[in-house]
Structure 1
């Protein structure tokens, strides 16, 4: 089957190992793989790997013309036979969700009507987004959501082949109520794995689920960031993993222009946002606040001044949060004010501006939160597009945080005078 859905008769039926042997000579200057003995080959086209014809057709129909860098490097490992365990790091917006979704779909036996794959996500929104991608590519494979607000199964035993959900709900379904057999799961995926293993509640539930899995179950852990402590724990959970860490954090930010503006209080910050929004052409913008109170205040101000704006924070119920996200993706609101509930994993390709109304700090102290900063500004510059990140600096402590982010990521954060219309207008060029 070629990329246009036409049937092609292969001249030779290669196995994956044959393919790897043929392509080994093409590997040059590749140093981002932790396991040097890995049988990794960077593919150039989706036809280069063994994929069901219907699934391949769905891939192209969904607009995936060529593999992204993470897909090109991860898919040969994910689809290898026998299955390999994989721990992969790649920045948001690089196509990692599609990579592990393709692995999930490939491993499903369509003739068996029971859960064969589990994908755990840290939030309801991320689970729904992953499920939407899975359904788009599913080619007849059934999916069920194990998340708060979704109805419980209507039968004693779940017949859907893929479960996508949050750890607490999946644990209840599989261990408490025994609505499916965890020992029959063939693929176990952790999305945003650093959050899953470092957050206490998720951490404990993931371990309890993991203990019920068969030793032959393929383990796939994906995230945009890993620190050494989390990576050590992940490797403890995943036997003999292959490890991919690309691109490096600094490379992730190459297509995002970072700036800061000096402000005097919240009203001054608001003026800076107004000047930016009025001075350049913006697709959509996300503004991050550290508190719900500030997010609500800022939303009222923007709405009063005629902006199409929505607010998303943790006190909203699931239906409200999903509705707001759907409206924002559809472009019905141009500005989304939010707390860290939206900093991870949500794809809205039209976002061209991210504003840190408050600098991200670690909970309980004033130290810089590097992961949250990376995830926040990573909401723009999706899939190689260019984006702008603006940090609003109010005091000396904010400036120390800014310099810490600048030093950590080794990327300049330039001063921007938001009161100078000419300087603001230059941002588009």
Structure 2
């Protein structure tokens, strides 16, 4: 048993070292591009072996999938969504004036931080940053719970606010950022390091595989970590004193507070903080019960959130197509591809077997296609995503593993080969639907979402989705070429 445990630990360390080599930046492909995956035919064969005839989510650990999805939200992002929707703000004192900024100069940042911001390609604050940053950076510090759609600059907002609170001369941890997975922690750490590149601020990662001798005192200014490792560093190894922290951030808070283990560990750390420590929760979505819980954890927070009707991007045209079976769905797909010119497409399936079948059919018909499911390792998924971003494959077939995960400007069409359904309920999964169709219409461009409907039950779900988001979903006849051509008008 001891040998097995040692082997497992060595394996975890090796994986952590490999992930340390992954740099998800605009330049990473030029110098450290991983070996390209096998051609489509070989990929089909490999996928068929690994695939089970079960839905993606119920067959996997739902907490693991949700945490991994959080990581992919931040992968491959090089631009921000140009969102024009207004945010809803609730603050402690309703009579207090609200401030917003249109330029980063208005925040009166240190020159070194301002240079870091512009060095990352941010020319002006996004909508969420316009509103959140003045409140995040005001004195005295204010706690905040913020919700905004994917791609709007949440990470850059709390990173910039955190960096602005750091005293570079004080060589001890002054900020702690927690994320649900070590991959996401590494990604946040990279953003911190890039934005702080003109400063002397040091960032450390409290993740699996990072080891220091007992008695070590961490001298980094900011720690980014996962809850489990951070709890060990604080309570067992005493690497730093949480009472000295000025900023405490929970990223992807809907994941962090909805998972029992992460929830307990995060609360345990939170209880050790100085009452003056600024506490921030950021996420793309909050279910009502999670929001209520978050408000019990964060005292007197400012709330920034989107109204439900503003969560669905106005730039996305939504359609549905009536089909009787998977063969008719594929025929409709071929009609769409044969009639109009499409940039890149994401196709969502419920079953892994459906995804594999579709991959094989499209590859046989000559399409440059790739597939992502939870069977594939995170490292290999990153390789596939990079290839898709570069346009080596025009079609990405996936399950909910990527519902939250890609921001690529060239994605013009999202197809729900199967509608997302709340497991065991027979009702549409509104949150997943929103994230799926949000893979198109990025950066202010127009996008198309097409839903394949194969029976009266799924047609009823389409009506429910339409009513929920108050957005029309138009019936599309894929046998009519003129009607298909109208999609691009």
Question: Is the counterpart of residue 204 in structure 1 residue 285 in structure 2?
Answer: no
**Shift of residue 342, structure 1, vs aligned partner:** 1.9
Judging changes above 3 Å, is the alpha-carbon distance between structure 1 residues 144 and 383 closer, same or farther for their aligned structure 2 residues? farther
Q: CA-to-partner distance for each residue in 1:323-381, whole Å, 9 max, x for gaps? A: 22333333333222222222225433332222222211223322221111111211222
Do 1:351 and 1:379's aligned partners in 2 also have CA atoms closer than 8 Å? yes
Do 2:369 and 2:395's aligned partners in 1 also have CA atoms closer than 8 Å? yes
**Using CA pairs below 8 Å that are at least 6 residues apart, which structure has the higher relative contact order?**
2
Partner of 1:270: 330
**Shift of residue 102, structure 1, vs aligned partner:** 1.3
Question: Alignment partner for residue 155 of structure 2, among 97, 104, 116?
Answer: 97
**Shift of residue 64, structure 1, vs aligned partner:** 1.8
Question: Is the counterpart of residue 32 in structure 1 residue 88 in structure 2?
Answer: yes
Partner of 1:319: 379
Q: Return the alpha-carbon distance in structure 2 between the equivalents of residues 331 and 165 of structure 1.
A: 33
Q: Return the alpha-carbon distance in structure 1 between the equivalents of residues 429 and 284 of structure 2.
A: 14
SS in 1 for 2:461: helix
SS in 2 for 1:243: strand
Question: Alignment partner for residue 195 of structure 2, among 137, 148, 170?
Answer: 137
Question: Alignment partner for residue 296 of structure 2, among 233, 236, 240?
Answer: 236
**Alignment gaps of 5+ in structure 2:** 1-85
Number of matched residues? Answer: 398
Q: Return the alpha-carbon distance in structure 2 between the equivalents of residues 338 and 145 of structure 1.
A: 31
Do 1:272 and 1:418's aligned partners in 2 also have CA atoms closer than 8 Å? yes
Q: Return the alpha-carbon distance in structure 2 between the equivalents of residues 344 and 255 of structure 1.
A: 18
**Shift of residue 144, structure 1, vs aligned partner:** 4.1
Question: Is the counterpart of residue 424 in structure 1 residue 484 in structure 2?
Answer: yes
**Shift of residue 168, structure 1, vs aligned partner:** 3.6
**Shift of residue 97, structure 1, vs aligned partner:** 2.3
Partner of 1:283: 343
SS in 1 for 2:300: coil
SS in 1 for 2:449: strand
Question: Alignment partner for residue 82 of structure 1, among 123, 140, 143?
Answer: 140
Partner of 1:305: 365
Judging changes above 3 Å, is the alpha-carbon distance between structure 1 residues 130 and 352 closer, same or farther for their aligned structure 2 residues? farther
Question: Alignment partner for residue 368 of structure 1, among 428, 432, 441?
Answer: 428
Q: Return the alpha-carbon distance in structure 1 between the equivalents of residues 390 and 87 of structure 2.
A: 40
Question: Alignment partner for residue 116 of structure 1, among 174, 180, 184?
Answer: 174
Q: Return the alpha-carbon distance in structure 2 between the equivalents of residues 165 and 380 of structure 1.
A: 31
Partner of 2:37: none
The RMSD of aligned alpha carbons is 2.6
Do 2:323 and 2:452's aligned partners in 1 also have CA atoms closer than 8 Å? yes
**Shift of residue 171, structure 1, vs aligned partner:** 3.6
Do 2:87 and 2:304's aligned partners in 1 also have CA atoms closer than 8 Å? no
SS in 2 for 1:260: strand
Judging changes above 3 Å, is the alpha-carbon distance between structure 1 residues 131 and 380 closer, same or farther for their aligned structure 2 residues? farther
Do 1:129 and 1:346's aligned partners in 2 also have CA atoms closer than 8 Å? no
Judging changes above 3 Å, is the alpha-carbon distance between structure 1 residues 400 and 120 closer, same or farther for their aligned structure 2 residues? farther
Question: Alignment partner for residue 402 of structure 2, among 314, 329, 342?
Answer: 342
Judging changes above 3 Å, is the alpha-carbon distance between structure 1 residues 165 and 311 closer, same or farther for their aligned structure 2 residues? farther
Partner of 1:152: 210
Judging changes above 3 Å, is the alpha-carbon distance between structure 1 residues 361 and 203 closer, same or farther for their aligned structure 2 residues? farther
Moved more, 328-337 or 234-243: 328-337
Q: Return the alpha-carbon distance in structure 1 between the equivalents of residues 479 and 234 of structure 2.
A: 57
Question: Is the counterpart of residue 42 in structure 1 residue 95 in structure 2?
Answer: no
SS in 2 for 1:399: helix
Judging changes above 3 Å, is the alpha-carbon distance between structure 1 residues 293 and 184 closer, same or farther for their aligned structure 2 residues? farther
Judging changes above 3 Å, is the alpha-carbon distance between structure 1 residues 359 and 79 closer, same or farther for their aligned structure 2 residues? same
Q: CA-to-partner distance for each residue in 1:253-276, whole Å, 9 max, x for gaps? A: 211111111122222222333333
Question: Alignment partner for residue 106 of structure 1, among 155, 160, 164?
Answer: 164
Q: CA-to-partner distance for each residue in 1:173-228, whole Å, 9 max, x for gaps? A: 44454444433332222223223222334333332332333322211112222233
Moved more, 272-281 or 403-412: 272-281
Partner of 2:113: 55
Do 2:149 and 2:311's aligned partners in 1 also have CA atoms closer than 8 Å? no
TM superposition score normalised by structure 2:
0.74
Question: Alignment partner for residue 274 of structure 2, among 195, 202, 214?
Answer: 214
Q: Return the alpha-carbon distance in structure 2 between the equivalents of residues 186 and 198 of structure 1.
A: 25
**Alignment gaps of 5+ in structure 1:** 1-29
Do 2:87 and 2:307's aligned partners in 1 also have CA atoms closer than 8 Å? no
Question: Is the counterpart of residue 253 in structure 1 residue 313 in structure 2?
Answer: yes
